[in-house]
Structure 1
Amino acid sequence: MKYFWNLFKNIDRALVILPLCFALISIVMISSTASEGHFVFNKYVTIQIVAYFLGFAAIALVLLIDYKVFENWERPLYITSVLVLLTVYIPHLGVEQYGSRAWINLGIMNFQPSEIVKITFVILLALYFRRNHDNLWSYKGVLMSALYASPFIVIVLKEDLGGAIVLCFIWLAMVFYAGIDYRILGKFSCLFAISLPIVYRFMASHQKERIDAFLHPTNLGLGGNYQVWQSKVAIGSGGFFGKGLFQGTQKELKFVPVQKSDFIYSVIVEELGMIGGAVVILLYAIFLYRIAKIAYNAKDDFGALIAVGFIGMFGFQVFENIAMTMGIMPVTGITLPFISYGGSSVLANLIALGLILNVGIRSKIINF
């Protein structure tokens, strides 16, 4: 008992307080999308609250297990993660939602397997790069790391473009930290850019439509452009101080699409103004900074790589979600971490946070 008490004394309190702030923002803003002019305790709010309770319980459980235990689980974890991604294709279990078959039906809710696999993906890459970081100074070494990650990216890409891009950025952040030769990285980046037209040919029709819409933003006939336009109107109409909580008109009239998840930042800025939007960005900046501190102070490369992987995951998701609401990035269905509605997303993000805190509390000397 004293051992665990000493561990918990080392916890980064900011990384506990910040998710509570995100939870409050999330619950209030999801309620606001009910368009009743006041707080509404609907089923979406209920699911979000339950997800947060389960997520914080999961953090407590994750903290009890030394993260180094995963060092012995690489092969079964790799195989299991790939199989979990493939469950969406099991008849009567996998379901189609928002134009893609990326969910499984658990009865009480739909669950997105790729959310949990993002966590195991980070762990697996951390194990791989810790073992092979000396090989990253060669083309073969970088290519082998990409091949190691490719089954996850390819499976997710088939149905969820946004999820696949997140996995790519996790790989990029971790390979960068692991010590890749920058000249090799530059050449691989050029090769990737050249291959984009080929990748585009193999995308699903709804994925191609999102790319086309981004490249032709003035064509409101392309799917997604009208919604992005309405999102920008909502953000612009919020002004400096916003229209007031629960008072957003673009949201009220349902002009802003997918308000609870993809475009919740538009609702925040319309109602709370540029100040509210800036506060949210500041909270995320502090959140990422605290994770970076844990990565810097980690007692081993494995722990540091885990933290860096989650910086890549959270950092890109925050940037992409906010940028797409402003038309700066294409609409990919990536949600705003901790704030957007989604039980599987909230639960996975909190488990990821549990692993980050796990690295942090074990990076300090424990006195008995």
Structure 2
Amino acid sequence: MSGVYERRLLRVERGFGVLEKLWAVPWGFVLLLCAVAGVGYVALYSAGGGAPELYASKHALRFGFGVVVMLCIAFVDIRLIAKLSWLGYAIGIGLLVLVAVHGQVGKGAQRWVELGPVQLQPSELMKILLVLALASWFHRASWERVGNLLFLVPPAIAVLIPVGLILKQPNLGTALITGMIGAAVFWSAGVRWWKFALVGIAAGVAAPIAYDHLHDYQRARITTFLDPESDPLGAGYNIIQSKIALGSGGMWGKGFLQGTQGHLNFLPEKQTDFIFTMIAEEFGLVGAVGTLLLLALVVAFAFLVALRCRHQYGRLLGVGLGTNFFLYVFVNVAMVTGSIPVGGVPLPLISHGGSAMLTAMVGFGLLMSAWVHRDAEFAATKD
């Protein structure tokens, strides 16, 4: 062990000072997030008709507040976060129950809850809290214990409870993403592949039954995905207009504020779900690919945290939060390109929306805490 590493480990064991934590913060990652949010500001400025008041200024204020929250979380010892993981999970479940009882209804779904002046979508926050809880459950478990089926029952129930509550809102897309995030943490913790195969077979058998219980609008989304031209002025309108905008941008785009589909209001939800389409129309394939590369670097940092952490808690945190961010990006881009059925999933740090922004910044703060405290010593491994 090198002398530099010994000194760093000694500082971790004694506890970082504020200046040492400031030095340890990955400022390059902070700049990367600023660049992504900057892309969002430009796109929302255009979506607002060339004025910041409608969307862009709110986006900047939310991001600025999010940066403060992120840095505050980054300074918190990762071991304290691990101790509070299940408390956070319980609070998240409580908020989902509150949504079911007193939630605000919007666009046919009951997904939001009023907390004073703040309107929060708990399902977004629940994905982060689920990762924390699962990481806390698995991080001290030995390989043999992870292989014990009974040991997997409590975390499996911990995944199914929020998935079920989110399905009741109804919010099928977020429920599926929540389940996939849980599966990613299970896989990273060392759960055997054949258990995933059994779950996959069960899901395949249950799929036709589940389809019969979908809401009419959810079945319409699937039908429209398979044949959007069957109802070009109704259910297929959104994806048809999105594809027109994507194609019309060409290689270099029509130019900033020059997108016809967006500015003539053919493109629906251009400030939220279809913001990536606006970028592609105005800045072309080059702008779209550049945006995706920036988002890919954010995902790469999450998995870098997983690789560099000496403790299992940080590794599972990196995988779970990285998977969460990746699925956000993948689902949104696949949706607007017609690769999957349309659903209400925003593009993180770019789309207009407070809950998604705050949730993303909380997740990044947790990643940064894991990075700053990547050499922290946890309790001994369970038998």
Instruction: Give the TM-score, by structure 2 length.
Output: 0.88
Distance 1:193 1:215 in 2: 19
* CA spacing shift, 1:75–1:173, aligned 2, 3 Å: closer
Residue 128, structure 1, aligned to residue 137, structure 2: yes
* 1:22 equivalent in structure 2: 36
Structure 2 residue matching 1:105: 3-state secondary structure = strand
Residue 350, structure 1, aligned to residue 361, structure 2: yes
* 1:279 equivalent in structure 2: 290
Question: Shift in Å at residue 221 of structure 1?
Answer: 5.6
Give ranges in structure 1 of 5+ residues lacking alignment: none
Distance 1:224 1:349 in 2: 30
Residue 99, structure 1, aligned to residue 113, structure 2: no
Structure 1 residue matching 2:272: 3-state secondary structure = coil
Q: Which has the larger radius of gyration?
A: 2
Choose from 301, 304, 307 the match for 2:312. Answer: 301
Distance 1:34 1:43 in 2: 5
Distance 1:328 1:186 in 2: 25
Choose from 149, 152, 162 the match for 2:159. Answer: 149
| 1:125-150 Cα deviation digits (max 9, x unpaired) | 11122255644435555555322211
Distance 1:163 1:217 in 2: 23
Residue 115, structure 1, aligned to residue 124, structure 2: yes
Residue 227, structure 1, aligned to residue 241, structure 2: no
Letter in 1 for 2:251: F
* 1:260 equivalent in structure 2: 271
* CA spacing shift, 1:109–1:253, aligned 2, 3 Å: farther
- Single out whichever of 217-226 and 112-121 deviates more from structure 2: 217-226
Letter in 1 for 2:45: S
Distance 1:353 1:309 in 2: 12
Distance 1:334 1:97 in 2: 15
Distance 2:106 2:279 in 1: 25
Distance 1:309 1:76 in 2: 18
- Single out whichever of 196-205 and 346-355 deviates more from structure 2: 196-205
Letter in 1 for 2:123: S
Distance 1:74 1:355 in 2: 11
**Percent identity of paired positions between Structure 1 and Structure 2:** 29
Letter in 1 for 2:367: I
- Single out whichever of 1-10 and 295-304 deviates more from structure 2: 1-10
* 1:359 equivalent in structure 2: 370
Is residue 100–residue 160 contact of structure 1 (8 Å, CA) maintained in 2? Answer: yes
Distance 1:322 1:177 in 2: 25
Residue 317, structure 1, aligned to residue 328, structure 2: yes
* 1:9 equivalent in structure 2: 23
Map residues 164-243 of structure 1 onto 2, 5 A cutoff: 164-220=175-231, 224-243=235-254
Distance 1:16 1:26 in 2: 15
* CA spacing shift, 1:117–1:245, aligned 2, 3 Å: same
Give ranges in structure 2 of 5+ residues lacking alignment: 1-14, 377-383
Count residues in correspondence. Answer: 361
Letter in 2 for 1:13: W
Question: Shift in Å at residue 88 of structure 1?
Answer: 1.8
Distance 2:144 2:347 in 1: 35
Letter in 2 for 1:30: L
| 1:246-280 Cα deviation digits (max 9, x unpaired) | 11001111111110010000000000000000001
Question: Shift in Å at residue 207 of structure 1?
Answer: 2.5
Distance 1:219 1:141 in 2: 49
Distance 1:74 1:60 in 2: 19
* 1:71 equivalent in structure 2: 82
| 1:204-231 Cα deviation digits (max 9, x unpaired) | 3332322232233332269542100110
Give the alignment's Cα RMSD to 1 decimal: 2.2
Question: Shift in Å at residue 20 of structure 1?
Answer: 0.3
Distance 1:287 1:110 in 2: 27
Distance 2:260 2:135 in 1: 46
Structure 2 residue matching 1:23: 3-state secondary structure = helix
